[in-house]
Amino acid sequence: MRKSAIVGLITIAICVGFLVSLNADTNSYSTFTEAAKDPKEFHVMGYWEKEKGTYYDANKDANHFAFYMKDQKGSINKVVYNGTKPQDFERSEKLVLIGKMKDDTFYASKILMKCPSKYNNDLVEIKKDGTVEKYN
């Protein structure tokens, strides 16, 4: 193969890689309003609306947890999580939900909680089986 053909193939490969990286999903935070417009999965950051409480009855359905959250723009929506209620949910300062919006309800597949700490801010993920994974 000639040198010009090899250089051309490398250039094309670099351009394709660059275009794919531009088109990649950029995990930026959205709002409930943005999530309602598209059926794909979104990351929504906000705060638990403590006045509205939570719904969790382990005897009736241990894999159904519901609450209300206010997003960064101030919109309040119902959130349903098909998993066990996260430990120390009431102590969390901030929430990041990963999921989809359907009929004015956000169905979370993951809940990330920012918990208060004396020394550092820990972000933890609560999995559907109730296990906790910490992020630093």
pLDDT, tens digit only, all 136 positions of the chain: 788 888 888 888 887 776 666 655 555 788 998 888 988 899 999 999 989 989 998 889 889 999 999 998 999 999 999 988 888 888 888 999 999 999 889 999 999 988 766 555 566 677 777 777 776 5
The CA-atom distances, in angstroms, between 73 and each of 28, 45, 69, 70 are 15, 10, 11, 8
User: Could you tell me which residues come within 8 angstroms of residue 119 by beta carbon, excluding any fewer than 6 positions away?
Assistant: none
Main-chain dihedrals φ then ψ at residue 86, nearest 5 degrees = -60, 140
Main-chain dihedrals φ then ψ at residue 50, nearest 5 degrees = -60, -35
User: Could you tell me which residues come within 8 angstroms of residue 54 by beta carbon, excluding any fewer than 6 positions away?
Assistant: 48, 65, 66, 67, 85, 89
- Distance between CA 118 and CA 56 in Å, rounded? 29
pLDDT number for residue 46? 93
Residue 54 burial by CB count (10 A; 0-12/13-18/19+): exposed, middle or buried?
Answer: middle
pLDDT number for residue 27? 55
